[in-house]
């Protein structure tokens, strides 16, 4: 769209600050704006000049997005970028900053309502499946019984939990606990046995070394005894001088 021009005087008569220009665009301009803290000067200028796309207030289709991990702002933006040029509607954000969740969700819903609702339903189904799997909340049944459960008009008023009879329990039986304890004891004993064998081997090596040293010491003692008996040395091991 081609732009026209007005004088700075005409512009100043209506708005002289970013706050006043923000209010002007939202009221007289009928622009569906992000929160004021996100609408920086460059964004406001780009909207006025036509560099940024925008949605008119009366066109907005409001939607409430469920608060789940797979429907964060980044998830919504990633989805939108596959179908529309969503960045053309957004201000420039600093690293780590993102648009307000409600505002950007309404923008996307206004532009591609059916695709967004389908995307949300798929994410909710994925979440439901993950919860059922994680918490063991599913019951195995034949198709005819599944259909009968869904179409039944009967409402249970008992306090029991009959569905527990159909569900495979994740709780361990006493026998399974005993087997796990037995395996743990055997594993612990094996480790202790290996450590004990290593210690015994080290002690045997030390005993052999001591035996060798003792034998050498005894051999030296025998030699000294013979020298002493022949009066070659005295009791203190000194040589006796021969006359």
Residue 164 lies in a domain: no
Is there a single domain that holds both residue 130 and residue 186?
no
The pLDDT tens digits for 208-235 are: 777 777 777 777 777 767 767 777 666 6
Residue 143 lies in a domain: no
Is there a single domain that holds both residue 29 and residue 110?
yes
pLDDT of residue 218: 75
Is there a single domain that holds both residue 19 and residue 104?
yes
Q: Give me the numbers of helices (H) and strands (E) for the chain, helices first please.
A: 9, 0
pLDDT of residue 97: 86
Q: How many domains does the chain have?
A: 2
Residue 152 lies in a domain: no
Burial class (CB in 10 A: 0-12, 13-18, 19+), 237: exposed
Is there a single domain that holds both residue 19 and residue 108?
yes
Residue 149 lies in a domain: no
Residue 141 lies in a domain: no
How far is 119 from 71, CA to CA, in rounded Å?
9
CA 14 vs CA 47, 203, 229: distances in Å: 17, 98, 131
- Evaluate if residue 146 carries a pLDDT over 80: no
Is there a single domain that holds both residue 13 and residue 130?
yes
pLDDT of residue 77: 94
Count how many residues are written for the chain.
Answer: 243
Q: How confident is the model at residue 173 (pLDDT cuts 50, 70, 90)?
A: low
All residues at 6 or more sequence positions from 31 whose CB lies less than 8 Å from its CB, including other chains:
25, 47, 54, 55, 56, 57
Burial class (CB in 10 A: 0-12, 13-18, 19+), 227: middle
Of 44-53, 128-137, 165-174, 226-235, which gets the smallest average pLDDT? 165-174
How far is 27 from 91, CA to CA, in rounded Å?
19
Containing domain of residue 234, as a range? 172-243
Sign of CA dihedral 11, 12, 13, 14: positive
Given a contact cutoff of 8 angstroms between Cβ atoms, the answer to whether 155 and 147 are in contact is no
Among 65, 102, 63, 105, smallest CA distance to 86 is for 105
Is there a single domain that holds both residue 31 and residue 112?
yes
Query: Which letter does DSSP use for residue 75 in this model?
Result: H
- Evaluate if residue 50 carries a pLDDT over 90: no
pLDDT of residue 241: 64
pLDDT of residue 2: 63
pLDDT of residue 101: 93
Letter string b/e over residues 2-15, b meaning 16 or more CB atoms within 10 A of that residue's CB? eeeeeeeeeeeeeb
């Amino acid at each position: 769209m081609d732009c026209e021009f007005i004088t700075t005087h005409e512009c100043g008569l209506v708005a002289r600050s970013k706050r006043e220009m923000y209010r002007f665009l939202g009221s007289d301009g009928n622009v569906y704006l992000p929160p004021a803290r996100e609408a920086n000067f460059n964004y406001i200028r780009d909207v006025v000049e036509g560099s940024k796309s925008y949605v008119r207030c009366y066109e907005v289709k409001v939607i409430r997005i469920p608060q789940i991990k797979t429907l964060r702002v980044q998830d919504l933006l990633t989805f939108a970028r596959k179908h529309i040029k969503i960045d053309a509607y957004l201000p420039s954000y600093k690293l780590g900053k993102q648009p307000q969740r409600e505002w950007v969700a309404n923008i996307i819903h206004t532009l591609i309502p059916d695709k967004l609702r389908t995307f949300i339903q798929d994410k909710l189904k994925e979440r439901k499946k993950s919860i059922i799997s994680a918490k063991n909340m599913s019951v195995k049944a034949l198709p005819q019984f599944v259909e009968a459960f869904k179409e039944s008009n009967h409402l249970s008023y008992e306090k029991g939990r009959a569905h527990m009879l159909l569900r495979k329990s994740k709780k361990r039986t006493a026998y399974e606990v005993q087997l796990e304890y037995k395996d743990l004891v055997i594993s612990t004993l094996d480790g202790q046995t290996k450590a004990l064998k290593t210690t015994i081997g080290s002690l045997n090596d030390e005993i052999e070394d001591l035996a060798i040293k003792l034998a050498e010491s005894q051999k030296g003692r025998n030699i000294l005894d013979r020298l002493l008996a022949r009066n070659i040395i005295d009791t203190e091991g000194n040589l006796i001088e021969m006359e």
